[in-house]
A and B are shown apart, each in its own frame.
Chain A
Amino acid sequence: VNPITHYKQYPPNVSKIYSYFECRCKKGSPFNEVVFFGLQYLLKKYLTGAVVTEEKIQQAKVFYQMHFRQTVFDEDGWRKILEKYDGRLPIRIKAVPEGRVVPRGNVLFTVENTDPEFFWLTNYVETMLVQMWYPITVATVSREFKKILAKHLRASSGSIEGLDTRLHDFGYRGVSSQESAALGGAAHLVNFCSTDTVAGLLMAQRYYSCPMAGFSIPAAEHSTIISWGRSREKEAFEQMLEQFPTSPVSVVSDSYDIFKACKHIWGDKLKDRVMERSEDSCLVIRPDSGDPTETLLQVIQILEECFGSSVNSMGYKLLPSYLRIIQGDGIDLGSIEQKLRDEGWSSENVFFGCGSALLQKINRDTLNCAFKCSYVENNGQGMDVYKLPMTDPSKGSKKGQLTLSRNSDGLLETLEKGVGKPEEDLLVKVFENGSLLQDYSLEEIRRKAQLTEEDEVAPPRHNGEHKGSGGGLHILNGQH
């Protein structure tokens, strides 16, 4: 719904509109807690400073006249912002510090107008701020993947060393725009530091003070293999080893026949060259078709036959350190990790790449993100407001002014109706009257979002029924 006409719809004499954002609870959802991330980007890019100009007012006026086929644009209202505040927005935003992990159903940020004349502004910035669903959801999903990987890595190798390079962002070509790539890419980097989405690195640099948030290795793609011609796949592979002698190198090997490539080319014709490599310059073989789990298991078996394996301190098999695998095609992370272990293989052998499942196959309903009005002031009188549709009570919203605090059990909870104590409120003022008041760095965000011991050991507490060994994370197969 377009907010342009809303200034006419509120009660007369309304002087304050206070709204909040949450990821509503939903029964049966596999996600119980969310990572708060991305607000700083939106604030810096779109809301800070003098965002209202005469030129924009004129453009909007003309445009909305045609779009609505009548005059509905509140020209006077916007001009008053220009005159009174030099175009800076008289609103106040309080938010959970970025990187914080918060259980579903809690307030994450609040927005209110600071000048009674501009009550309509709260709702106006809503549409943009609701897009917070995206970086929050990417960061959350990425962290849930991290939990799965941590669990299996620790169980099969004894430690979680190298955890933050185990899930590589391949999502650039599958997102809907450059801006989404940047924002989604940065959100993944809250939890990991391997990425092919350069835009995310630049976003982290520009908006979160991180000079280099992620790393990668030289990688082949189908075009660089098939351009040698069908009969010269070996030469194409060899070129990769020669061109990149001192760093790990990833080589997609399924252009024609992944199994033959592993057995006859890597495992035979180029075997010596592969064995020359060290752990720091390992060959990472990439399958990219067929059933992900089956293919992975077959590939690892073929490689074992050709190169042998050793057993680590936890009793799991390891390929030689110069050889690893990266599986980047349509994976169900939990089930593939489990199968690997069932077959006696350590998680150290396999890296994962994640594309659209990380950056695109999600939506605002994944975490039920919602922005709702909870408190208004009319004639100076405060009133708690809410919606509660009898057709779907899960869509009900919170009432009144909200705070986020720790209860006596140490758990985070949201207090409604203004009963919370300001000094216990974990929400921090981040924006007021056009100025940014906090500047979080990716480094502190990463610290806050780190996995705790609890995350690895205890399975996530579910709101609803427990769904099987994978923990219910079917997002990678598009079901959610």
Chain B
Amino acid sequence: SACMGPASPLCAFVPQVTHYKQYPPNTSKVYSYFECRETRTEPTKNRKVKYDKTVFYGLQYILHKYLKGKVVTPEKIQEAKEVYREHFQDDVFNEKGWNYILEKYDGHLPIEIKAVPEGSVIPRGNVLFTVESTDPECYWLTNWVETILVQIWYPITVATNSREQKKILAKFLLETSGNLTGLELKLHDFGYRGVSSQETAGIGASAHLVNFKGTDTVAGIGVIKKYYGTKDPVPGFSVPAAEHSTITAWGKDHEKDAFEHIIKQFPNVPVSIVSDSYDIYNACEKIWGEDLRSLIVSRSADAPLVVRPDSGDPLDTVLKVLEILGKKFPPTENSLGYRVLPPYIRVIQGDGVDINTLQEIVEGLKEQKWSIENISFGSGGALLQKLTRDLLNCSFKCSYVVTNGLGVNVFKDPVADPNKRSKKGRLSLHRTQSGHFVTLEEGKGDLEEYGVDLLHTVFQNGKIVKTYTFDDVRDNAKLKDTEKEELLK
């Protein structure tokens, strides 16, 4: 079973196994596309965050890891045949079809994928990539690779949700300090222990790094280096940080000794120290504020102590911590009239942070006249796990087939849910004169009235023909000036 592992496209979603028998006879092409559907009708839940646009990211990982090169061997075909025979208690596996690919293409997949450049920020309801079979015998292959391609929902959703949080942070940082210094380190990835697998950790963490540079999920860096590449030695950074065990291991009456030891271990870099093992307020007031005060005030602006609460209502706790620290380490007022703690002390809130609480906390801080310069955030489960394919309605659908030599535009349109309607025919993505994105259906993009198709061929017959570096991705996804202006309105 070693050769059939999850990395093989033979390991499909079961329904696909029998689909080659279900298409109309004499079908010679199946063409499908992927989008993050719009919800056109009133949602039953009134979501606070709209997610109007999505960040396209993660296709290159899937292409490299699962689809490129020789993906079938005689052994894999044999094994798949046996597994599916047992699973269906019937011989339904398309052995002939896979052997054809093995013989004619040396195991390379005869499909073509065209996609929007990675990192592109595109409004909902537009085509993001298309997939079609390139050999009439392999019409069924388009649908076979669907499951693996649809998992792109995850990096897209992480990157999109992370970017929306960046906008929130940018707005409030700008409003309370006048600039965006340090924005890229304001939301730190704490998600490693909260994801469902090592592989998810890598993909998700890399998606967050499209927008930010702080991470504790090291696996993400591995994904970036291996599948995208950057000009910098590493795309993400971290600082030494304590954890409850490194504090509680000293014993309940030795919290001060723990704090002192750790802060002395890391004199020249920022150090984050979780302070709520027993009583966060006492820790801030007595230990940090009095017992160890001298060790803190001697630290430089490049190496602050970062106090980390980790329990209680996020906004209330942060405000109370800031008040207490403010009494012990008097803040100054910045040019916009907001209070800033001295540069040797900061706060990081890493508990219960999601896009909604993030908004609440920064609003609350601003209202109490605290600058966002004082604080950074960590997010775990909400950043990398508490997301589903439904958040952005990611969907892969067939829109065009060729049967008996004739092209047919196909679609679904369920009577009970117009939101689930899919696009028709061959698709292309264009920009209008006014700069808006538009998806043309039914092959209308051929008419060239709308100019060039923004979808580029990235994969063809087993080869990756266009790649993006992580720097390209970051560049495409950065906050535009127009967006920054919008934030301040």
CA distance A199 to B360 in the complex (A): 40
With a cutoff of 8 Å between Cβ atoms, the chain A residues found around residue B89 in the complex are 215, 247
Produce 1/0 per residue, B185-206, CB < 8 A to A. Answer: 0000010111111111001100
Pairwise interchain contact A9-B32, C-beta atoms closer than 8 A:
no
Question: Whole-angstrom distance between the alpha carbons of A243 and B278 in the complex?
Answer: 66
Q: Find A202's partner among B6, B233, B390 (CB 8 Å cutoff).
A: B6
Known: A198-B12, A356-B388, A385-B248. A227 touches B410 (CB 8 A): yes
The answer on a CB contact under 8 Å between B15 and A389 is: no
Residues from chain B with a CB closer than 8 A to the CB of A229 are: 408, 410
With both chains docked as a complex, state the minimum distance between the C-beta of A405 and any C-beta of chain B, in angstroms: 25
Which A residues lie within 8 Å of B390 (CB)?
356, 478
- CB of B196 within 8 A of CB of A180, answer yes
- The size of the chain A interface, using a CB distance under 8 A, is 114
A131-B244 contact, Cβ under 8 Å, with A176-B203, A383-B251: no
- Asked whether A68 lies within 8 Å of B245 as measured between CB atoms, the reply is no
Residues of B within 8 A of A2 (CB): 216, 218, 238, 241
Which of B22, B234, B244 makes the CB contact (< 8 A) with A387?
B244
Which of the candidate stretches B150-158, B169-177, B329-337 sits at the interface with the other chain? B150-158
Asked whether A361 and B388 contact (CB < 8 A) given A196-B14, A387-B248, the answer is: yes
Q: Is B413 within 8 A of A256, CB to CB?
A: yes
B-contact 0/1 string along A207-223, CB 8 Å cutoff: 00001101111111111
A63 and B18 contact, CB distance less than 8 A: no
Q: Which of A67, A228, A243, A359 has the most CB of B within 10 A?
A: A67
Task: Let me know if B462 is at the binding interface, CB within 8 A.
Answer: no
Interface size class of B (residues with CB under 8 A): 35 or more
Please give me the residue from chain A that is nearest to B19 by CB atom.
A224
Which positions 377-416 of chain A face chain B at CB distance < 8 Å? 383, 385-392, 395, 397
Stretch at the interface among B141-149, B286-294, B470-478: B141-149
Closest-CB distance, A242 to chain B (whole angstroms): 9
With contact pairs A128-B198, A391-B311 given, residues A1 and B278 touching in the complex (Cβ less than 8 Å): no
A173 with B147: CB separation less than 8 A:
yes
A474 within 8 A of B: no
Q: How far is the CB of B381 from chain A (nearest CB, A)?
A: 5
Question: Are the CB atoms of B414 and A256 closer together than 8 Å?
Answer: yes
Which A residues lie within 8 Å of B247 (CB)?
387
Q: Which single member of B146, B196, B262, B415 contacts A175 (CB below 8 Å)? A: B196
The CA-CA distance from A95 to B247 in the complex, in Å, is 26
- For B219-241 the 0/1 string (1 means CB < 8 A from A) is 00100000000000110111111
Q: Which of A173, A214, A288 contacts B146 (CB 8 A)?
A: A173
A387 neighbours in B (Cβ, 8 Å): 244, 247-248, 276-278
Of A68, A211, A391, the contact of B269 (CB 8 Å cutoff): A68
Given A226-B411, A258-B415: A372 and B244 within 8 A (CB)? yes
Of the stretches A10-18, A77-85, A331-339, A448-456, the one at the interface is: A10-18
Q: Which of B23-31, B106-114, B118-126, B438-446 contacts A (4 or more CB under 8 A)?
A: B23-31
Contact A395:B311 (CB < 8 A) given known A224-B22, A255-B412: yes
- B417 within 8 A of partner (CB): yes
Q: How far is the CA of A376 from the CA of B414 in the complex (A)?
A: 61
Asked if A72 CB lies within 8 Å of chain B CBs, one says: yes
Partner of B15 from A12, A196, A392 at Cβ < 8 Å? A196
In the bound assembly, the distance between CA atoms of A66 and B251 in angstroms comes to 33
In the complex, per-residue mask of B245-287: 1 if CB is within 8 Å of any chain A CB, else 0: 1111111101001100110011011001010111110000000
Is the beta-carbon distance between B415 and A363 smaller than 8 angstroms? no
Q: How far apart sit A224 and B277, CA to CA, in the bound complex (Å)?
A: 57
Instruction: Please tell me if the beta carbons of B87 and A216 are within 8 angstroms of each other in the complex.
Output: yes
User: Is the CB–CB distance between B83 and A201 below 8 Å?
Assistant: yes
A68 and B420 alpha carbons, distance in the complex (Å): 46
Known: A17-B245, A176-B151. A67 touches B386 (CB 8 A): no
Distance A387 CA – B250 CA, assembled complex (angstroms): 11
Residues of B contacting A276 with CB < 8 Å?
none
Nearest-neighbour CB distance to chain A for B229, whole angstroms, equals: 15
Q: A158 an interface residue at 8 Å Cβ cutoff?
A: no
**In the complex, what residues of A have CB within 8 A of residue B380's CB?**
364
Question: B301 an interface residue at 8 Å Cβ cutoff?
Answer: no
Residues of B within 8 A of A224 (CB): 19, 22-23, 143
Q: Is the CB of A239 within 8 A of B22?
A: yes
Q: Which residue of the partner chain A has the closest CB to B148?
A: A178
Task: Check A6 for interface membership: any CB of B closer than 8 A.
Answer: yes
**CB-contact partner of B221 in A63, A178, A226, A383, under 8 A:** A63
Docked Cα-Cα span, A42 to B368, in Å, equals: 47
Shortest Cβ gap from A447 to chain B (Å): 21
Q: Can you pick out 6 interface pairs between chain A and chain B where the beta carbons lie within 8 Å of each other?
A: A68-B240, A133-B193, A173-B150, A177-B197, A178-B7, A197-B13
Closest 7 CB pairs of A and B: A290-B416, A391-B312, A373-B245, A223-B398, A179-B199, A392-B311, A224-B22
Q: A255-B412, A391-B309 are in contact. List 19 more A-B contacts (CB 8 A).
A: A2-B241, A11-B249, A128-B198, A131-B197, A131-B198, A133-B193, A173-B146, A176-B154, A178-B66, A178-B148, A180-B196, A224-B22, A254-B415, A259-B415, A289-B417, A364-B381, A385-B250, A390-B278, A395-B311
